[in-house]
Every structure is written in C-alpha cells, then in structure tokens.
Structure 1
Amino acid sequence: MKGKRERTYTEMPKSSKRKQNRRKTFIILLIPVLVIGYYLISHEEKIEKKYNSYIPKKYMAIYLEAQKVYGVPWYVLAAHHRVETRFSTLKPMVSPAGAEGPMQFMPCTFVGWKHPSCSGLGKGNIPEKEKTDPAVIKKYGGYGIDADGDGKADPFDDKDAIFSAANYLAKNGAADGQIEKAVYSYNHSNKYVSEVMYYVRLYKKEGAQEVNR
C-alpha cells in the first residue's frame, strides 16, 4: 500500500527499543550499587574479624605462662575466656546456674566434688572461706589453683581462674592434643564446643603477635 512504510525483518519495534534502553539504564545504575554493597559487606567482615580476633594485652602473659605450666595451648585458654565472659567484661560474673568467675567454674568443680555439700549440677553449699583455700581444694580433689601465690585460689581472680581452667583442660586431654574432647568436658554442649573451637582456630591462625595489638 502506498504511503505506508513496511518494516524489514531486521528493524526493531520502538517499544522493544525502549525496553532494551530501560534494561541498559537499569544495569548501569545497578553496577555501582553492587560495587558499594560488596565493599560494605567486605568492610563489615573485616571489622568483625578484627573485633573477634582481639585479645586484651594484659591476658596474653597469663595464657602463655599457664601454657608452660600445663601444656594447654594459649589460644585454647583465650577462646574459653572469650566465650565464657568476654575477657572478664560480663557483670556479674555469676551465671544463673551458679558458675563463678572469669572462666565460669561451678563451685564443686573448683573445690572438688568430694566436698560433702556437692551434688546435682555442682553449685554446692561451700563456705566462702573453704572455696578459696588451697588445702581444702587439695583435700576434695578440685581444680582450683592459687596462681599468684597469695594463699588463695580465687575463682574470681583472673590469673587463678585461667590457671584453674588450664589445670582442668589439661587433665581432660587438651595438653595431649584432644582439644575438642577437653572443651566438651568443660560444658557438655555441642554448641559450646563449636563456639569455643571457632575462636581456637581464629586465634591459632592469627597468632599471638597479631591478636595482641
């Protein structure tokens, strides 16, 4: 028909061109959004890793000293300390179940299950004077240690608590490489083991100098 232009097979309809242009515009706008999103996620992951791998400097000497005495790797002790009380920052340091101090010892585990008041979950009814007495702890077979030599094995003292945890973990296999077994014996929870082992691997990988900055 005269006056009407016939469209060739290779010519794209105007509506299709508009759709294609909209797609191109969308892709062009989307690229910077994806780049920024990737950067933010990556940045957050780096911040989280840096935060998770941070260990307060004042505790490193204690971990390393306890490692020499008991053979339990410093990063295992650091991981326990991080999970239990976030390096002694949680207040109060007494759990609803009765676990006490920076490393969250049940009184009967600290003083010894042979104590007459010990049964059940291990809260016991141990007099405060007996709870920190090295002679009483030795008598009842507890894990409490007087690490600073002040005559008391105090579950609320950082050094005493960390050395006591090293003592416990060593006697449950950690000094012989059975770290997961020892960690499980500490809390009898698979979730707890997973959380502690996450930090064990992280601290071991980063190294003492890196995480101590």
Structure 2
Amino acid sequence: MAAKKKSYKKKKRKQSPFIILLIPVTVIALYILINQHDDKREPSGNYNKDIPAKFIPIYKAAEKKYGVPWYVLAAHHRVETRFSNMKTMVSPVGAEGPMQFMPCTFVGWKHPSCSGLGKGNIPKKEKENPAVIRKYGGYGVDADGDGIADPYNIYDAVFSAANYLAHNGAADGNLKKAVYSYNHSNEYVKEVLHFVKMYKNEF
C-alpha cells in the first residue's frame, strides 16, 4: 500500500509542473489576443484629442492668412508625419518635412529638373529661396520671415500646406477636392477627413 501511494505521488509530481506552467501561459496568450491591435486601426478618441499644443497657434495663424480651417492643417500633419514624430522626415518617394512636400510642388513644377513624381534635382539654395519659388510657381512659404522657405521648418511647412490647400479649394469649401489634390488617393482623403471631423468636433 505504501509503495503504491508513493508511486502515485511520484506520478502526480511529474504532471504538476506542466499544469502550473500551462495556466499562466494560457492566461498570457489570451491577454495578448484580446489586447493586440493593428496599427492601421483608427485610434481611440483619447488619442485623437492629443494634438500637441505647441502646433495649434501655428495652424491658426496659417488659417488666418489662407482661410484653410486650422483643424484641416492639423489633420494633414497627423496623417503625414504623426505630428512630426516619424523617424525620418523624408518619404520613400522623396516627400520632405512635417507636411511631406514633394520638392517640385514646394519650389514649382516649372523648375527645369521637375518631372515624374516631383522629386526633381533642386539644389538646397534654390529650394529654400523665396524668389526662386516665386519664379517657378511653387507653394513654399517663408512663414517666419527669416528669408528662407524651408520645408523642414514647421512654420514654413504648415503655411506652405495652407497655401497649397487654399489654391486647391480648401478655403472655398471644396475640402475633399483639396485633400485629394494633396496626395491623389481616396484612402488618404478618407483618413484626413476622419481626423478633420474628430478635431473639429473635439476642440
């Protein structure tokens, strides 16, 4: 009897570690499954409200000058670079800065090097020169008055985006058309307008 009990106890001890290990592993797996998320999913309401306060005066100053609602500019900034929080401010196709301007759109498509998608081969001195931008019909703006129109400068970038959107109808109520002209993608329009609605209603 004692031997049988001993044998039974040994057998029970062999199974116990597996059961003990299985329970937390199952719990962890269920937790991960329930809480996993897709980065493409629309963010929660609390995240949507999180426009960095430092940018709002810039959006509103650009709205005052160009008539493009500030929350439209905020939505573009959010979609383009997550409010300037992307690892790089240059896209795979060559769009630059917080608002992701193609160089030829910023400087002007009349520039001799501009063709195709608009990356061009524009020297930095020309790209940042307001006189050159005027010459080639670009949308780049020197918003902070330092004599340089810099697509990487948040003031210049936001004002340039407002300038572009205004010229494409955003200041006249043709918002969907203007947003489409910015990226030529219906999915892009849908995403930007989602944030436009969110910011308009929550701020």
TM-score, length basis structure 2: 0.79
Between the aligned partners of 1:129 and 1:135, the Cα distance in structure 2 is: 11
Candidates 84, 90, 94, aligned match of 2:80: 84
CA apart distance, 1:76: 0.2
Amino acid at match of 2:134: K
- 4+ residue runs over 3 A deviation: none
Q: Secondary structure at the match of 1:102?
A: coil
* Residue of 51, 56, 59 corresponding to 1:63: 59
Structure having the higher Rg: 1
Structure 2 CA distance, aligned partners of 1:189 and 1:48?
Answer: 24
- Residue 175, structure 1, aligned to residue 171, structure 2: yes
**Residue identity in the other structure for 1:152:** I
1:74 is matched with 70
Pairwise CA RMSD of aligned residues?
A: 1.3
CA-to-aligned-CA distance 1:17-70 (integer Å, 9 cap, x gap)? xxxxxxxxxxxxxxxxxxxxxxx99xxxxx821112210000000000000000
Tell me what 1:100 maps to. Answer: 96
1:160 to 142, 156, 166: 156
**Which runs of no fewer than 5 residues in structure 2 stay unpaired?**
1-33, 36-42
Within the alignment, does 1:53 sit opposite 2:49 as a pair?
Answer: yes
CA distance in 1 between partners of 2:79 and 2:164 (Å): 16
Query: What residue in structure 2 maps to residue 14 of structure 1?
Result: none
Specify the alignment match of 1:111 in structure 2. Answer: 107
Specify the SS of the correspondent of 1:175.
helix
Q: Say whether residues 1:192 and 2:191 are aligned partners.
A: no
The runs of 5 or more residues in structure 1 that have no matched partner are 1-39, 42-46, 208-213
Code of the residue aligned with 1:55 in structure 2: it is I
The TM-score, its normalising length taken from structure 1, stands at 0.75
Which residue is 1:133 aligned to? 129
CA distance in 2, matches of 1:194, 1:178: 15
Amino acid at match of 2:104: C
Q: CA deviation at 1:89?
A: 0.8
Contact 2:109 / 2:115 at 8 angstroms: preserved in 1? Answer: yes
The offset of 1:91, in angstroms, is: 1.8
Could you say what secondary structure the match of 2:191 adopts?
helix
CA deviation profile, 1:126-149 (whole Å, cap 9, x unmatched): 001100000000000000000000
